[in-house]
Every structure is written in C-alpha cells, then in structure tokens.
Amino acid sequence: MESLKASFGILFFTFTFSFSIFSLLIFVLRAIKPWSCGCEVCRSYLTRSWSPEFDNLSDWFTHLLRKSPTGTIHVHVLGNTITANPDNVEYMLKTRFDNFPKGKPFSAILGDLLGKGIFNVDGDSWKFQRKMASLELGSVSIRSHALEIVSSEIQNRLIPLLSSEAGKNGGVFDLQDVFRRFSFDTICQFSFGLDPGCLQLDLPISDLAVAFDLASKLLAERAMTASPWVWKVKRLLNLGSEKKLKAAIKAIHVLAEEVIQNRQKLGFSTQNDLLSRFMGTINDDRYLRDIVISFLLAGRDTVASALTTFFWLVAQHPEVEAAIREESDRVMGPTVQEQTANFKQMKEMHYLQAAMYESMRLYPPVQFDSKFCQEDDILPDGTYVTKGTRVTYHPYAMGRMERVWGNDCLEFKPERWLQDGVFRPVSPFKYPVFQAGIRVCLGKEIALVEMKSVAVSLIRQFDIRVVTPSQMPRFLPGLTATVRGGLPVTIQERRL
Ligand code: HEM
C-alpha cells in the first residue's frame, strides 16, 4: 500500500511539473510570437542574416532607415518603430512628451539596478529629481568642482601614465581602457566624493567598476531579447545570466550603501559632490543610492565612448589634429607648461568644440534611445503608432542620413559646425546625441568640458597613433557604445 502511495505521489509530481513547464513554454512562445511575422526585416533580425554585410546592428538599421522614404521603419518582431526623422524626434521628445514616457518595459529592464533613480522613472518622481539635479548641475560651484576633478586627474594621473607608456619598445596599449578608468575615477569623485583610483594600470580595477561593467552588459542583453518574458522567466528561476546579474547588482548596492554611510559619518554639509548635496534634502538612504547609481551610469561609459571614437577619428585626420594644436597654441600659448585649459580658454577654442560635436555626430555614445507610446498617435511623417509600441530615435543613423546632413554626411568635417570660425549649434532634434527637448541630458556641459580637457591636453603633449586605423569600429552590445577589442594605440611624447 505504502509503495503504491509513493508511486502515485511521484506520478502526480511528474505530471504537475511537466504540465507547468509545458504551460510556461506555451506562455513564452505566445509572448515571443516567433511565427507572427515572416517579413524580410524580421527574418533577417531573428536569423542575423544582416551580419555578413554590416559591422554593427546599428549599421543595418541605418541602411534600412536611409532606404525608407519617411526615415522611419517598424520591426514587427520587436514591436519597435525606429525613426531617424528630426520632425518625429521633436514630436516625441517635446511636442507630445507626455505621450512618450520611458514607460514600464524600460524601467522593468533597468529597475533592478537603478531602482527609482532619475534615469529610470517618469512622472512626479522624475520631476522632483530633475528639478533638484538641474539646480545642482547648473551651479557655478559644482561646475568648477567638476573641472578641478578633471584637471587634477589629467595632470596627476593621465599624463604621467601616458608619459610612462610613451616610446616603450613595441608599447601598444588600449586607450579605450584608459578612458574607461579615467571616466570612472572622475564620475565617482563627482558623484560620491570617492576616488576609486582606477587609473593606475598596475592596480586591479575596483570591485565597483567590475560589477558595474558586468551589470551594464547583462542589462543590455535583457533589452535585446525578442520578448521580456525570456529574461523574466530566467530571473524568476535565478538561471544563467540573470543569476550573474543579481550578484553584480547586489555588489553595487552594497558598495554604494557603504559609501553613503561613510559620507554620513564624515559629514556632508561642506562637501561639493552630488551625494552630499542631495543629502541636504533627502534622508532616505535607498533613494540616495538609486539617484547616485543613475549618475554613475549616465556619466561613465558615455564620456569614455566619446573620447575613444574621437581619438580614432583624429588619428585618421592629421589635418584635424594640426588645427586643434594650432588653435590651442594660440589660446593657451605654444608650450605645454599649461597642461590643462581653464573655462575661459575652452570657450575660445571653437574648432575643438566643432571637432567634438562632429565626432559624436558619427559616433554618438548612446546610439539609440527608446520611449513607449502611451496612447495611439500619429508621428509627423504619417507613421501610425499604437499604444504600447516602443518608439526609438536613432542618433547613430541620423548622423548618417544624407537628407539630414547632406551628401558629405559620412565625412568627418569639423568645419561644418563653424561659421566665420565661430561654433554654430544645430537644432537638437537633428542632433539628439544628448537627447533633446524636455528630458535633455543634464550632464551635457560637464561632459563637454571633461572631454575637451582630455582631448586638448593629450593632443598637445603626445602623438597618438592607432595601430589598425583602417579597421571600422565594431561595437559590443550595450547601453553605451563600447568598441569591441578596445582602441590599441602607440604613443610618443612630442618634442617642443
Ligand atoms: C558624452 C557624454 C554624454 C552623453 C552623450 C549623454 C547622453 C545622454 C542621453 C542620450 C540621455 C537620455 C537618456 C534617456 O533618457 O534614456 C542622457 C540623460 C542624462 N544624462 Fe547624459 N550624457 C553624457 C554625459 C553625462 C554626464 C557626464 C552626466 C552627469 C554628470 C550625465 C547625466 C545625465 C542625466 C542625469 C540624465 C537623465 C536626465 C533625465 O532623465 O531627466 N550625462 N544623457
């Protein structure tokens, strides 16, 4: 009798387990709908048949957007309308801003890491943080503090490091890695008042940076799955990449909480870092943690990415390098005694600003950015968008559209930004590299000062040569554009 009961129990358990797995499978398949669309674009996306012809997914999307008469396409299998049309961009980021929030699918993807941080929320919580953060980031004292951090990191770490690498026999090293370490050091000092000291190549990169890299990579993979159910089920069962992600996020949270507690012990009222500033208004530690993590994500990889592609382009355009040197000699003096530029000098270097903008036109650090349509809508180019559709504007493709930038759109020409030698910006909806409209990047000015400081200091002091200049950059999947394999360079100190 007992053995009959046991057999029945096993049979019942096996049946229930198999039925649950089967139901789950049906649920996931219905959500992914692999059979729902047989169009060429969807088939190509799912089978990756675009990859032999194009280096990057963004290059394939650019090709499709250039072919589309409206500059807009719809990828059915992703439920994603993608546009490179400036009128549509203005409509979604300004005119009908309320109808195109980040939306729940986005906050679900990043929510485990970012919680209620500014990057990941809409509505009142976003408005509150935006108001507070724009007051802080717009203040003269915070901007001067940011420049002090950047100048000190350049003079005391970046230049000595590159000088020690310069001229080493066969000395090839990865400039992208150096920029990632540099921007992590500066954004941590700016956000937390904490110096992780990553720019010492002999030291292992900090635990926080390692966990951050892993989390960004795995979160980007979440965003690329054809259906959110794939990662949601993996997260529920704590499997594979989701298990690793959980551990990385836990490590980031623990480290961030430690920083907050230390800051509270040491006192914050006289400090200039963002965390200390926010502590004056907010006393919820978890909320503080979320806000500061959003800033790390916003300000780290973006700056490193922009610098990497800038140096890649400049290395292929000696005339641009020469023009930057000539301008900086005129503004800062011909010797390299002055290693970094001050605010006034930077304002006077119009060519440098133009070269920076031009480089991000071709290689925007955030190659595309998505919103979710709240109510059915019609974009200015006539595209009908139903409620719940993901709508993506694509700065990478926009920089390569003849109808936006003219026949020479693929050429690197800083002069296109200058009129009588003076920098002239264009509509931010034509150039949404820092997003545009109501939710435009809050760190834009600080980022530009940081990047221009690095560019001018290194170009004045060193000859930097890319080892494989003709190789087009291939990007790793990620929230921000990171070059696969880094940027191997050789470096020589200039004799002046
Ligand atoms: C080249 C460097 C940078 C680029 C290209 C860039 C680009 C962007 C983009 C595209 C967004 C919109 C993202 C979205 O809503 O999904 C954004 C938002 C934001 N950025 Fe930047 N960013 C850069 C540097 C920085 C830096 C250094 C900081 C901080 C000091 C920063 C702070 C922010 C913040 C706080 C937001 C959120 C604004 C909001 O949601 O209201 N960014 N940035």
CA of 27 to the centre of ligand 1 (A): 36
For residues 233-259, give the mean pLDDT.
Answer: 92
Could you tell me whether strands 384-385 and 377-378 are parallel, antiparallel, or unpaired per DSSP bridges? Answer: antiparallel
Residue whose tokens read 């300000």 = 299
For atom 3 of ligand 1, the residue with the nearest CA is 302
What is the reported pLDDT for 1? 52
User: What does the alpha-carbon distance between residue 70 and residue 88 come to, in Å, rounded to a whole number?
Assistant: 10
* Per-residue pLDDT tens digits for 473-489: 999 877 899 999 999 99
CA of 443 to the centre of ligand 1 (A): 6
Domains in the chain, ordered, with CATH? 100-364+399-493 (1.10.630.10)
User: What does the alpha-carbon distance between residue 174 and residue 196 come to, in Å, rounded to a whole number?
Assistant: 20
CA of 437 to the centre of ligand 1 (A): 13
User: What does the alpha-carbon distance between residue 132 and residue 297 come to, in Å, rounded to a whole number?
Assistant: 18
CA of 442 to the centre of ligand 1 (A): 6
| Best probe residue, ligand 1, of 441, 445, 482 (max atoms within 8 Å of C-beta) | 441
Containing 166, the helix (H) or strand (E) segment is none
In this prediction, residue 380 has a pLDDT band, given cuts at 50, 70 and 90, of very high
Pocket of ligand 1, beta carbon within 6 A: 118-119, 130, 133, 295, 298-299, 302-303, 306, 365-366, 369, 433-435, 439, 441-443, 446-447
Cβ contacts of 368 within 8 Å, gap of 6 or more:
58, 61, 82, 392, 393, 394, 395, 396, 397
Residue from 342, 364, 377, 395 nearest 475 by CA:
364
217 or 357, greater pLDDT? 357
272 or 463, greater pLDDT? 463
Q: Are 105 and 445 in contact (CB under 8 A)?
A: no
- pLDDT exceeds cutoff 70 at 13: no
In this prediction, residue 4 has a pLDDT band, given cuts at 50, 70 and 90, of low
Tokens (6 digits) for 21: 């797995």
Give one DSSP letter per residue of 24-86, joined into a string: HHHHHHHHH-TTS---HHHHHHHHTTTTTT-SSHHHHHHHHHHHSTTSEEEEGGGTEEEE--H
Share of the chain above pLDDT 70, in %: 90
For atom 41 of ligand 1, the residue with the nearest CA is 439
CA of 379 to the centre of ligand 1 (A): 25
CA of 429 to the centre of ligand 1 (A): 15
For atom 27 of ligand 1, the residue with the nearest CA is 299
Q: What is the pTM of this model?
A: 0.90
C-alpha 223 chain-centroid distance? 14
User: What does the alpha-carbon distance between residue 342 and residue 169 come to, in Å, rounded to a whole number?
Assistant: 35
Looking at every residue in the chain, the average pLDDT score rounds to 89
User: What does the alpha-carbon distance between residue 316 and residue 321 come to, in Å, rounded to a whole number?
Assistant: 9
For atom 20 of ligand 1, the residue with the nearest CA is 441
User: Does 441 carry a binding-site annotation?
Assistant: yes
* Ligand 1 atom closest to the CA of 118, numbered from 1: 40
* Ligand 1 atom closest to the CA of 446, numbered from 1: 27
* Ligand 1 atom closest to the CA of 369, numbered from 1: 16
* Per-residue pLDDT tens digits for 164-180: 888 776 678 899 999 99
Grouping H, G, I as helix, E, B as strand and the rest as coil, residue 290 is: helix
User: What does the alpha-carbon distance between residue 383 and residue 391 come to, in Å, rounded to a whole number?
Assistant: 11
CA of 153 to the centre of ligand 1 (A): 22
In this prediction, residue 24 has a pLDDT band, given cuts at 50, 70 and 90, of low
For residues 353-366, give the mean pLDDT.
Answer: 98
* Per-residue pLDDT tens digits for 64-83: 999 999 999 999 988 999 99
Phi-psi region of 63 (alpha: psi -120 to 50; beta: other; left: phi over 0): alpha
270 or 384, greater pLDDT? 384
